[in-house]
Amino acid sequence: MSSDAPWSSLRRFTDARIGLGRAGAALPIKEVLSFAMAHAQARDAVTTPIDWAPIERALADLGLATRRVDSAAADRDTYLRRPDLGRRLSAASRQRLAGIAGGAPDLLILIADGLSSTGVAANAVEVVAALLPLARRSGWSLAPLVLASQGRVALGDDAGEVLGARAVLVLIGERPGLSSPDSLGAYLTLAPRTGRKDGERNCVSNIRSGGLAASAAAYKIHWLLREAFRRGLTGVALKDESNFELEGSQHRELPPR
């Protein structure tokens, strides 16, 4: 049996770099080049400007209106150095959203480039498409989707407060790892307002082709939102128990809530 055989078996279950081998006292050149490529992909995910046009077209095909906004971070360099500015709307964007406020929607979905434009481009529309029928079945009213450049998670609190939304869902590019430059995160906050803490949110992470599928993410997001509206809370007090419901539904019809 090859000395690499045990590692070959384990590699089927993880993207982690295990059993890389060696060439003398160094790594094999193919592993060095693979690491360099992964590092370049991670850097590109952070620094490449997002192209909102194809995302807008895809959302329009779903029958959804969109609005573009910017954070108070004027450019990418400022965004990376000043996280606080990425958590606030620019003055012009705040005024733009205030112009469409009214009606207090149940849910605002805000898509932000975050730290991976790659993750947003690859996954955001698919998550929205999977979530949309669930939200409509629940009878939730939706605000126009907000597309935010140079945005951090807390930008959703600012936008949700302006629009008077009952809850905000932020879909945002996650900080890329060396095996996942295309990951999307989903953050849910009930009664969004400026100053909300991270402990008042729920997160569904690692949404990507090699991680949590968009359909599974949408199921979890819908469950958490439904329970947030029912219990009047999000964050550390709301635990994700959607798997128990999913397992139970395979054996019996779930009682109405």
Point out the least confidently predicted range of 17-21, 113-117, 196-200. Answer: 17-21
What is the residue type of 229? F
Please work out, in degrees rounded to the nearest 5, the angle formed at the alpha carbon of residue 203 by the alpha carbons of 216 and 77. Answer: 115
pLDDT band at 42 (very low <50, low <70, confident <90, very high): confident
Q: Is residue 32 part of a domain?
A: no
Please work out, in degrees rounded to the nearest 5, the angle formed at the alpha carbon of residue 184 by the alpha carbons of 183 and 189. Answer: 150
Indicate the average pLDDT of the chain. 90
Burial class (CB in 10 A: 0-12, 13-18, 19+), 235: middle
> Using one digit for the tens of pLDDT, what is the confidence trace for 189-205?
999 999 999 999 999 99
Q: Is the predicted pLDDT of residue 83 greater than 80, yes or no?
A: yes
pLDDT band at 251 (very low <50, low <70, confident <90, very high): very low
Q: Is residue 38 part of a domain?
A: no
> Using one digit for the tens of pLDDT, what is the confidence trace for 222-231?
999 999 999 9
Q: Is residue 255 part of a domain?
A: no
Of the candidates 138, 136, 135, 157, which has an alpha carbon nearest to the alpha carbon of residue 146? 157
What span, in angstroms and rounded, lies between the C-alpha atoms of 189 and 120?
Answer: 20
Q: For residues 4-12, give the mean pLDDT.
A: 74
Q: Which residue has the higher pLDDT, 5 or 160?
A: 160
Residue 126, pLDDT score: 98
Q: Is residue 33 part of a domain?
A: no
Which range marks the domain in which residue 196 is found? Answer: 52-249
Two tokens, residue 105: 């929607």
Interacting residues of 218 by C-beta distance below 8 A, sequence separation 6+: 127, 130, 131, 134
Residue 11, pLDDT score: 76
Of the candidates 231, 230, 165, which has an alpha carbon nearest to the alpha carbon of residue 192? 165
Q: In this structure, what CATH number is given to the domain that contains residue 173?
A: 3.40.50.11240
Residue 214, pLDDT score: 97
Two tokens, residue 97: 């959203």
Q: Is residue 41 part of a domain?
A: no
> Using one digit for the tens of pLDDT, what is the confidence trace for 89-107?
999 999 999 998 778 999 9
Q: Is residue 16 part of a domain?
A: no
> Using one digit for the tens of pLDDT, what is the confidence trace for 156-214?
999 999 999 999 999 999 998 888 889 999 999 999 999 999 999 999 999 999 899 99
Residue 225, pLDDT score: 97
What span, in angstroms and rounded, lies between the C-alpha atoms of 12 and 23?
Answer: 23
What span, in angstroms and rounded, lies between the C-alpha atoms of 87 and 195?
Answer: 10
As for how many domains the chain has, the answer is 1
What span, in angstroms and rounded, lies between the C-alpha atoms of 90 and 150?
Answer: 10
Helix 214-231, helix 242-249: angle, nearest 10? 110
Q: Is residue 163 part of a domain?
A: yes
Q: Report helix, strand or coil for 67.
A: strand
